[in-house]
Amino acid sequence: MVKFWWPNQTFLSDEYNPCGSSSGSAVAVAQGLVDIAIGTETNGSISCPSSINGIVGMKPTTGLVSRSGIIPISSSQDTPGPMGKNVEIVAKTLEAISGKDINDEATFLIPDDFEFNFSSVVKNKRLDGKRFGLLNSDNKDANVIKLHNEIRILVSSLGGEVIDIYDDRTYPESAEYYILLYEFRIDLEKYLQESDSAMENLEDIVNFNNNNKETVMPYFGQDIFYQSLNSKSYLKYLWSKFKIKKSYEATLKLLNKYNLDAFIGLTRGPAWKINYQGGDWPAMRDSLLISSGGYAAHNGMPHITIPYFELNEFPVGISLIGRKWDDMLIISYAAAIEKN
């Protein structure tokens, strides 16, 4: 049974998807079983379940928190992050789990002068002088337009400004996906060989699943695993990495063009009905399909979502996305919004 938390309201449903992959972490917080949980994100796996279940979720800058010991998907994008009942506990948890780790070279990129005391900004109540670029500002859906207007009013009431931006970026979907497929096989094999698992590589897992498919795959197959096994072109991988680099440059250009402190927008639409026949995508197409976190994921930028709106009786979060290593800034912005 999925439980959605919302101030003074409770939603129970086993028909709606809690979103993944960190759905367990989100639902545990939403049910009140814990105040804080840790999720991991490659693309949307912290922000989506946090928004869907009405909790705060923080995907930090990639490299701020060590991935050591976590089952990998893509070393270019993977990151753990805190998911909790409010901004303060999320900030305190991020403080505790951040830092350099000799077992994860991504953490070596943390600037030497980086400030880790995230909890010092959770009392912030204002957004004076801050400029936020509105993501998906050209969306014509009536519900989106209404909520975007509420975001404008909210930010203005706190002293900030929401800017409608012309977003001419082209999402590098195929490049991002190929990197995931290429790195998954390699990163998983390294993880398995360093563990005490009887499985040594992705092929072993595929064979195990095929031999036990009635138990482990009652609804869907393992198409992505097969795609990963066949994604071995290093030249295509390098080209895909180049495309992601250009995407990050375009994102920085957009931030600088409008002199923005951060991006703001709806994290995504409300929960969609579970579809055991066709999977997520057909079900999502029948719901409000909007997403703000993709660029933050493959560009390694910090992204926090906080519960704010209600649509069709389900939570919808507000996302704040900043430049790399601006984690403290977006936490301070989230704290101000949460208080209002």
CATH number at residue 77: 3.90.1300.10
- 33 and 72 part of one domain: yes
Give this prediction's pTM: 0.94
- 268 and 214 part of one domain: no
- 12 and 84 part of one domain: yes
- 178 and 227 part of one domain: yes
How far is Cα of residue 258 from the mean position of the Cα atoms in its chain? 24
Cα–Cα distance for residue pair 27/21, rounded to 1 Å: 11
- 268 and 328 part of one domain: yes
Cα–Cα distance list, 64 to 88, 147, 180, 181, 301 (Å): 18, 32, 20, 23, 10
- 36 and 116 part of one domain: yes
Tens digits of pLDDT across the chain (340 residues):
344 444 444 455 778 889 989 999 999 999 999 999 999 999 999 999 999 999 999 999 999 999 999 999 999 999 999 999 999 999 999 999 999 999 999 999 999 999 999 999 999 999 999 999 999 988 899 999 999 999 999 999 999 999 999 999 999 999 999 999 999 999 999 999 999 999 999 999 999 999 999 999 998 899 999 999 999 999 999 999 999 999 999 999 999 999 999 999 999 989 888 878 777 666 666 666 677 899 999 999 999 999 999 998 899 999 999 999 999 999 999 999 999 8
- Provide DSSP, 272-286: -B--TTT-HHHHHHT
Q: Report pLDDT for 8.
A: 43
Considering its fold, how many domains does the chain have in total?
A: 2
**Kind and range of the H or E run holding 329:** helix 327-338
| Domain contains 72 | yes
The residue range of the domain holding 234 is: 168-243
- State the average pLDDT for the chain: 93
Among the three residues 186, 214, 243, which one is the final residue of a domain in this structure? 243
Q: 314 phi and psi, to 5 degrees?
A: -125, 150
- 212 and 320 part of one domain: no
| Domain contains 321 | yes
| Domain contains 82 | yes
- 95 and 184 part of one domain: no
Among the three residues 185, 212, 243, which one is the final residue of a domain in this structure? 243
- 94 and 175 part of one domain: no
- 45 and 91 part of one domain: yes
- 199 and 287 part of one domain: no
| Domain contains 331 | yes
Cα–Cα distance for residue pair 161/142, rounded to 1 Å: 22
